[in-house]
Amino acid sequence: MRFRRLPKRYAAVVTPLVLSLVMTFVVSLVATLRAVGPSPDLVSLWLQGWMMSWAIAFPTLLAVLPLVRRIVMAVVES
């Protein structure tokens, strides 16, 4: 069974949503590994850190994305 795709107008929210999920997933794992090493609590600590970092990253991306787009358009040929 296929899922319904969202209309194109949601791309402005879905893009930073997916980007923030992936980036915070990777970065929080690396940071947690460096901080505690391979410990029995690693997964629990990592998921807590991931949730907190995502809660900050997603709204931040929504806020700064228009500025980032303007900067990119200023340095990239059209």
DSSP per-residue string spanning 1-18: -PPPPPPGGGHHHHHHHH
* pLDDT, tens only, 20-62: 999 999 999 999 999 999 999 999 999 999 999 999 999 999 9
What pLDDT does 1 receive? Answer: 76
pTM: 0.81
How much is the pLDDT for 13? Answer: 92
**Closest C-alpha among 70, 30, 36 to residue 50:** 30
**Containing H/E element for 33?**
helix 11-36
- Going by C-alpha positions, the residue among 9, 50, 18, 8 that lies closest to residue 33 is 50
